[in-house]
Chains A and B, each alone.
Chain A
């Protein structure tokens, strides 16, 4: 199965007044058609910037400083803005945490969706409207014909996110990047959105990169998981394997912090300390200031290793299962 998208050694740095922030530092992964990759990390891990880098939406003072993003053999990192614009919203689409990032509050939904359709396809106004109406129906919006004439503020938060998803899927993209789209939504609405996206991706063979900090959401959704910390992927593998038998101490710490993994009333297992500032990363392994297993070796940056087949971990002391 050829990969829809393959990211190799991606580096995106932000050149700020206070120094260089290596938001994404040597990140590699690939996603095949119909596959769901969960990109997991906390704030400052670089997961969102990775998504923006693939879309070419990194604004100054940031830019992609190294690596390649291969889509159908072409390196997206080197393409002109014009070419990227033809791909964006067409073959590669993105949805965001706040649907109002996608939706213009002063335009009606049909205006916006028709514009999105005709940006990449030479169809007539009425044909575009029909497509828009069908797209709304597909994402589960009741009475789509009436809702087309509405404004974004007349929809609830969950509905708006559905509209944003509908717009993203208008041209049946090969790759959909979802940046925390359900974080701000209620559990019941979140479940609906997850169901819709799962459906649509499976039906159309869309590759899906789901960016989140919520391990519980990704557990039910993703085929594979990549865990990010301080701009690097510290662990990657099949989601069941990563969640049941994490190799990297950070992954284990994250899983351990989830309340449902702890006995009721007992202190939660917590990772001590806080994420280091990306301006002042300690040399070597970025996690070593908070890791119980650290030693002198960790002052060198751990390279991506494969301690078990199909599992990647950047750690000199991965939590290997004790051999029988």
Chain B
């Protein structure tokens, strides 16, 4: 009877996830980025609790308080920490609520685009042939148009509105996911553990989502963080151009747009602070994404 063989090393319970986390934490910059992003996200989620004013509630606005510089006190009692815009809206509150919209739209569209794009990319890689060709031509078509143009065209048809913006962003973004996932899936598909799954007569849906997908995650995660940043920037651009979210639910982009006209007349704060908020959000996401890319890459080449 062959003797029972034990694993020669007895390490602590080391799941792939824990290994990933410890490698991620090696970069202090990335941790800072993550912390900042989490802070921003929390601020956006709890905006209604933190903000001194609800900027969407027209009753709370005092048009007489319009365009006050940062630090001025309001007629109601609190301080306009970052000044007010031309509607009398507290910039700080406006930014917090605006972050909500920006993050919500950015992350939401990224999630749905990822779902659609990943599924299509996996199917293209798995079946190959005509299905692959059809999906990839669609992707090529999608990617040959500038994203702004596509988004503008969709919004021109659908009109303004948060959900419409999300829809437009999904249409713009899915192709990146599809292309990236397809490339990784095509490599992984040839690997022996997938052949083994086929040999074991597992149904193709199971192989696709249980075996192939988890091993295509690394580039997907990296793309996803980049795409969230892109989506936020794109939404800001659309709103800046006046074609994104409505005035009643301003995102950071719209806030920047509102204050644009006052930039040169000394009332910088109306554009400046939302701009800073946008910048910090996107940079923090990119820092996290950079470290993710570094951590996830060496593991791909075993």
* Residues of A that sit less than 8 Å from B by CB: 272-277, 279-280
B75 adjacent to chain A (CB < 8 Å): no
**Total interface residues in chain B, CB < 8 Å:** 4
Q: Is B300 an interface residue (CB 8 A)?
A: no
What are 10 A-B pairs with beta-carbon distances under 8 A? Answer: A272-B3, A273-B3, A273-B5, A274-B5, A274-B8, A275-B8, A277-B8, A277-B9, A279-B9, A280-B9
Closest Cβ–Cβ distance, residue B177 to chain A (whole Å)? 30
Chain B: CB-nearest residue to A289: B8
Counting from the closest, the 10 A-B pairs by CB-CB distance are: A277-B9, A274-B8, A277-B8, A272-B3, A276-B8, A274-B5, A275-B8, A280-B9, A279-B9, A273-B5
* Shortest CB distance A19–B (Å): 11
Interface string of B35-74 (1 = CB under 8 A from A): 0000000000000000000000000000000000000000
- Expressed in whole angstroms, the minimum distance between the Cβ of B266 and any Cβ of chain A is 55
How many A-B residue pairs have C-beta atoms within 8 angstroms? Tell me: 11
Chain B proximity of A154: nearest CB distance (Å) = 23
Q: CA–CA, A313 to B194, complex, Å?
A: 46
Query: Within the complex, what minimum Cβ distance (angstroms) separates B91 from chain A?
Result: 47
Q: Which residues of B sit under 8 angstroms from A279, Cβ to Cβ?
A: 9
Contacts of A274 in B (CB 8 A): 5, 8
Q: B1-15: contact bitstring with A at CB < 8 Å (1 yes, 0 no)?
A: 001010011000000
| Binary CB contact string for chain B from 242 to 275 against chain A (1 if under 8 A, 0 otherwise) | 0000000000000000000000000000000000
Q: Which residues of A contact B5 (CB under 8 A)?
A: 273-274
* Bound Cα distance A275, B6 (Å): 11
CB of A322 to closest CB in B, whole Å: 29
B residues whose Cβ falls under 8 Å from a Cβ of A: 3, 5, 8-9
B6 to chain A: closest CB distance in Å? 8
A60–B243 CA distance with the chains assembled, in angstroms: 55
Contacts of A276 in B (CB 8 A): 8
A274 to B9, CA, bound (A): 10
CA distance A210 to B213 in the complex (A): 43
Could you list 8 further interchain pairs (A-B, Cβ under 8 angstroms) beyond the known A273-B3, A275-B8, A277-B9?
Answer: A272-B3, A273-B5, A274-B5, A274-B8, A276-B8, A277-B8, A279-B9, A280-B9
Q: Once the chains are docked, how many angstroms separate the CA of A277 from the CA of B8?
A: 6
Shortest distance between the CB of A279 and any CB in chain B (Å): 7
Closest to B3 in A: A272
Q: A298 to chain B: closest CB distance in Å?
A: 19
A273 to B5, CA, bound (A): 7
Q: Which residues of B contact A272 (CB under 8 A)?
A: 3
**Which A residues touch B9, using CB under 8 A?**
277, 279-280
Contacts of A280 in B (CB 8 A): 9
Nearest-neighbour CB distance to chain B for A266, whole angstroms, equals 14
Which B-chain residue is minimally distant from A277 (CB atoms)? B9
In angstroms, Cα B9 to Cα A276, docked, is 8
Query: Which residues from A are CB-within-8-Å of B3?
Result: 272-273
The closest CB in chain B to the CB of A17 belongs to B22
Minimum CB–CB distance for A165 against chain B, Å? 27
In angstroms, Cα B46 to Cα A313, docked, is 72
Tell me the bound Cα distance from A279 to B8 in angstroms: 11
What's the nearest-Cβ distance from chain A to residue B301, in Å? Answer: 14
- Within the complex, the shortest CB–CB distance from A14 to chain B, in Å, comes to 15
Query: CB-nearest residue of chain A relative to B10?
Result: A280
List, in ascending order, chain A residues with CB within 8 A of B8's CB. 274-277
Q: A21: shortest Cβ distance to chain B, in Å?
A: 12
A44 → chain B, closest Cβ, in Å?
10
Chain A, residue nearest B7 (CB): A274
In the assembled complex, the Cα of A279 lies from the Cα of B10 at a distance in Å of 11
Bound CA–CA A272/B5 (angstroms): 9
Tell me which residues across on chain B come within 8 A of A273, comparing CB atoms: 3, 5
Q: Which B-chain residue is minimally distant from A280 (CB atoms)?
A: B9
Closest to B2 in A: A270
Query: Taking the nearest CB of chain B, how far is it from the CB of A280, in angstroms?
Result: 7
CB distance from B12 to the nearest CB of A (A): 10
Q: What distance in Å separates the Cβ of B5 from its nearest Cβ neighbour in chain A?
A: 7
Which residue of the partner chain A has the closest CB to B11? A18
Cα distance, A280 to B9, chains bound together (Å): 8
Q: How far is the CB of B215 from chain A (nearest CB, A)?
A: 24
| CA–CA, A273 and B6, complex, Å | 8
Give Cα distance in the complex from A129 to B93, angstroms. 73
B174 to chain A, nearest CB (A): 34
Bound CA–CA A272/B8 (angstroms): 12
- A258 vs B271: C-alpha distance when bound (angstroms): 77
Q: Shortest distance in angstroms between A316's beta carbon and chain B's nearest beta carbon?
A: 24
Distance between Cα atoms of A276 and B8 in the complex (Å): 6
A127 to B76, CA, bound (A): 90
Most buried by B among A274, A275, A276: A274
